[in-house]
């Protein structure tokens, strides 16, 4: 699925987060062995085995019925169950974020994907047209088509920003997870991810329109192909700026 090409780096990041916390996980395992009781361990083993088998059943059903989303999401209960069975519930709790992070690999059904991307494509074209009109550019908007100085720019699926939005959410979640700070600070940063990613995509589309208008469609197409970094910089710099501002308030 084109809009889910970001999924290739979700698993490596999840594994890196587990490796990053290896010291804390080793301490938890040592403490669990010292204070654990036989009934508690047996309960954890049964709970883990139940979750593991449930995940396998979900995978088999999704695979037989050709439900990609269901067969992919089965990875979550399978991993939780296997972790609880082998290492205990304390380790599974510590690994909750890296495991749940894998949910970002799950592609939404095509019908839901269309319902999300079509409105995003429409509104990005509306906002782009309004902003460029404010600066007296000769732009008109008709549905998903923008006409600017004799050039027609169609807001295709990549222009919706959905792929970039999911990619930036994936990176933003890791940033918020690894930084130090109170829960309120992290909640504010989490709430900033989507607006910053949408703002980055809007700036990207406006930039593409301006490059096309001033330098032609060939240069505009090249800019479109390499302009993903705009959203990345807006998100990362925005999160770092908000993080720095909130850190100042914490120390005052």
Residues serving a catalytic function are 159, 204
Q: Which residue has the tokens 């923008």?
A: 146
Structure tokens at 235: 């998100």
Q: What sign results for the dihedral spanned by CA atoms 11, 15, 18, 20?
A: negative
Residue 22 buriedness (CB in 10 A; 0-12 / 13-18 / 19+): exposed
Cα(171)–Cα(173) distance, integer angstroms: 5
Structure tokens at 216: 């032609």
Check: CB of residue 36 under 8 Å from CB of residue 68. no
User: What's the order of all strands across the beta sheet hosting 139-142?
Assistant: 139-142, 145-148, 151-154
Cα(210)–Cα(136) distance, integer angstroms: 12
N-to-C CA span, the chain: 48
Strand partners, 147: 140, 152
């Amino acid at each position: 699925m084109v809009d889910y090409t970001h999924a290739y780096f979700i698993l490596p990041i999840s594994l890196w987060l587990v490796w990053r916390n290896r010291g804390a996980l080793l301490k938890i395992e040592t403490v669990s062995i010292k204070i654990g009781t036989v009934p508690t361990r047996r309960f954890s083993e049964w709970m883990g085995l139940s979750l593991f088998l449930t995940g396998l059943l979900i995978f088999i059903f999704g695979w037989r019925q050709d439900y990609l989303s269901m067969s992919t999401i089965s990875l979550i209960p399978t991993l939780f169950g296997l972790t609880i069975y082998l290492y205990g519930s304390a380790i599974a709790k510590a690994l909750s974020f890296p495991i749940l992070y894998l949910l970002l690999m799950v592609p939404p059904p095509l019908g839901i994907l269309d319902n999300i991307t079509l409105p995003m494509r429409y509104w990005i074209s509306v906002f782009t047209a309004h902003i460029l009109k404010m600066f007296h550019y000769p732009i008109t908007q008709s549905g998903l088509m923008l006409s600017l100085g004799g050039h027609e720019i169609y807001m295709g699926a990549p222009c919706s920003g959905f792929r970039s939005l999911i990619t930036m959410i994936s990176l933003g979640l890791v940033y918020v997870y690894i930084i130090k700070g109170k829960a309120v600070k992290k909640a504010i940063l989490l709430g900033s991810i989507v607006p910053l990613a949408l703002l980055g995509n809007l700036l990207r589309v406006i930039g593409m329109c301006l490059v096309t208008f001033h330098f032609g469609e060939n240069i505009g197409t090249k800019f479109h192909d390499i302009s993903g970094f705009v959203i990345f910089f807006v998100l990362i710099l925005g999160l770092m700026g908000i993080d720095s501002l909130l850190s100042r308030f914490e120390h005052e």
